[in-house]
Chain A
């Protein structure tokens, strides 16, 4: 059975997609098979981090939801970008597979206009895991609480909630933590992102843990290096020895248990 991990935040722009992509790569580098699915149907974006160009995106989650293909046909093998000590990670049995949401305006409009069968999304998570023989399925979500996010949370073994040190994020996170508890998520982890580097990161972590009575899996500083990478790739692969990559690894270790 694969471990299902949803990455969520109440508000937008907290760093969900960046964190998801980094965790995917780091877990895959340990020799695991990791799927990552973009359920942010109305504003997809994580494919950018995996350098999947729009013109190379033949099938997407949308095609699956419209019954045009089985879900695994919308999976892109991104394993070739993974390297461990110069060797291909595939040799170790690991791999990463991305299921993007369509970036075509017409497709986005259609799914918003017509809706879709949510049972298919439920089946899709299961089928993808089985057919690609995944150890982990990471789910990047749309901010706020909508049907697909609530479903993802319900089906998750681990929910990672990302927040910035910001009063609006704090309030939103309280709502999400409440919802996660109502949905009986077995493991809840908080990640504080974009913390000013002059702050004591560990102290921020302790404060947040206390506020929400939940485990903080990591505190990540606001990083100029992330800003200048500008979603042009996966940070942990680009800068394997960076202190921020170390922090991503700590979060991955908590998820992997």
Chain B
């Protein structure tokens, strides 16, 4: 393997490790209010601030705070469709099996020696 490719794989694996996002198995153990909001968002595909406020029966300031919390956790992302801001659930990538995620750094250590 060329060093260039090796570095790239290493970076990719590290980035993967940090990728935020919601896994469906997380959803099952979330507090009910959060779980129901995220289920609804997934089914609606993408939603506006006003729709979230409506769903929460709260004002837009409260809805914005709620969304900010979910974005901070990496569960939701903001998308801008021609200046129109919408919110969408961000799902975590499905990780492969078999290969431990830190394999590249483990290999790197070996190669360095």
Task: State the A residues within 8 Å of B (CB).
Answer: 112-119, 122, 126, 147-148, 150-151, 154-155, 179, 182-184
Measured between alpha carbons, how far is A116 from B21 in the docked complex, in Å? Answer: 13
Task: State the B residues within 8 Å of A (CB).
Answer: 21, 23-25, 27-28, 35-36, 39-40, 42-43, 45, 89-99
Measured between alpha carbons, how far is A155 from B24 in the docked complex, in Å? Answer: 11
Can you offer 12 A-B residue contacts whose CB atoms are under 8 A? A112-B96, A112-B97, A113-B96, A117-B91, A118-B23, A118-B91, A147-B24, A151-B24, A151-B42, A179-B28, A183-B27, A184-B36
Measured between alpha carbons, how far is A182 from B24 in the docked complex, in Å? Answer: 11
Shortest B5–chain A CB gap in Å is 16
Given the known A-B contacts A113-B98, A115-B94, are A126 and B45 also in contact in the complex, defined by CB atoms under 8 Å?
yes
Instruction: Kindly report which residue of chain B lies nearest to residue A114, judged by CB atoms.
Output: B96
Write out the residue numbers on chain A whose beta carbons fall within 8 Å of the beta carbon of B98: 112-113
Whether the pair B35, A182 counts as a contact (CB closer than 8 A) is yes
Measured between alpha carbons, how far is A183 from B97 in the docked complex, in Å? Answer: 26
Measured between alpha carbons, how far is A115 from B95 in the docked complex, in Å? Answer: 4
Whether the pair A154, B90 counts as a contact (CB closer than 8 A) is no
Given the known A-B contacts A118-B91, A151-B91, A184-B36, are A113 and B25 also in contact in the complex, defined by CB atoms under 8 Å?
no
Measured between alpha carbons, how far is A154 from B35 in the docked complex, in Å? Answer: 11
Instruction: Kindly report which residue of chain B lies nearest to residue A178, judged by CB atoms.
Output: B28
Whether the pair A117, B40 counts as a contact (CB closer than 8 A) is no
Whether the pair B27, A154 counts as a contact (CB closer than 8 A) is yes
Whether the pair A155, B42 counts as a contact (CB closer than 8 A) is yes
Measured between alpha carbons, how far is A179 from B29 in the docked complex, in Å? Answer: 11
Whether the pair A155, B43 counts as a contact (CB closer than 8 A) is yes
Shortest B50–chain A CB gap in Å is 20
